[in-house]
Amino acid sequence: MASGESQTPVSLSDRELQIIDLVAAGLTNQDIAGKLEISKRTVDNHISNILTKTQTDNRVALVRWAMRWGKVCLNDVNCCTLPNPNQPD
């Protein structure tokens, strides 16, 4: 585990989880702001709060944290599929 990475689950808002997902997708803060129709400064503040809550130092460490705790799914990595009740075993 990377130094400074939180070892316990963290409570994040839906918006913070949405921003983590967009960070993991490779979007810049400016791109995230445009996609969510909020200011870049608001995104900057969200990112800062998220880094503090997750005890991560940067975006890479944040994505690693998010994958470890199952908060993001990247290209079918770290994803679980739920069973389909209509599909036979």
**Domains within the chain, CATH numbers bracketed:** 14-68 (1.10.10.10)
CA of residue 22 relative to chain centroid, distance: 7
What's the pLDDT at 74?
Answer: 72
What's the pLDDT at 84?
Answer: 55
CA of residue 23 relative to chain centroid, distance: 7
Could you list the mean pLDDT of each consecutive 10-residue stretch along the chain, which spans 89 residues? 58 95 96 98 98 96 91 69 54
Count other C-beta atoms under 10 Å from residue 16's C-beta.
18
Q: Is the dihedral of CA 18, 25, 10, 38 positive or negative?
A: negative
In one-letter notation, the amino acid at residue 36 is: L
What's the pLDDT at 73?
Answer: 78
What's the pLDDT at 44?
Answer: 98
